[in-house]
Homo-oligomer: A and B are copies of this chain.
Amino acid sequence: MDDDAQNEDTTGEQQLARVFEFFNEIGIINQLSTALFQKRLPDGVTVAQFSVLNHLTRVMDGQTPLKLASAFQVPKTSMTHTLAGLEKRGLVEMRPNERDGRSKTVWLTPAGRTFREMSIASLMADMARLQSQLDVPAMVNAVPTLSEVRKVLDQDRD
């Protein structure tokens, strides 16, 4: 019993340390990739803004701000701010939501689509350089684990 208890404890601390390490790496990668990414985006468009553009392209535009906020797991006030930036640059357009007077819908403008395509093209150049160094298959392998962790964390919040 004593052995087990001590064992449990040790394992617990070790696991905590390992999980820490995991989240620590995640944090640094996020830092670096965001910075790297940001540098390639013209004009001071942020990564957050680009991500929304990209999402609207992939998933379909006409979504509500709240839907977008929950897709990216950010507070709705942050999404308001991001969308305001996109709108000011003319990359998205807000229209009223006909089904709900409180709400709005977000639509890509032609400029928004073009911007997204050009950004992707510019990123492809970087990718070409990074691909030789990055172990892409290993990264792809890790994605299911990451998604899993993401879902657990998501469900866990109060």
Contacts and interface: CB of A to CB of B under 8 A. Distances in A.
Please give me the 7 A-B residue pairs with the lowest Cβ-Cβ distance, nearest first. A25-B146, A32-B153, A30-B30, A138-B145, A133-B152, A142-B142, A22-B139
Contacts of A157: 32, 35-36
Contact of A18 (B28, B33, B143, B152): B143
A133 B145 CA distance: 12
Q: Which of A27, A51, A134 has the most CB of B within 10 A?
A: A27
A136 B73 contact: no
Interface of A: 12-13, 15-16, 18-37, 51, 54, 72-74, 120, 123-124, 127-131, 133-136, 138-143, 145-150, 152-157
A156 B131 CA distance: 12
Contacts of A19: 127, 134, 136, 139
Contact of A32 (B54, B136, B150): B150
A54 B20 CA distance: 10
Given A127-B16, A153-B29, A157-B36, A22 B73 contact: no
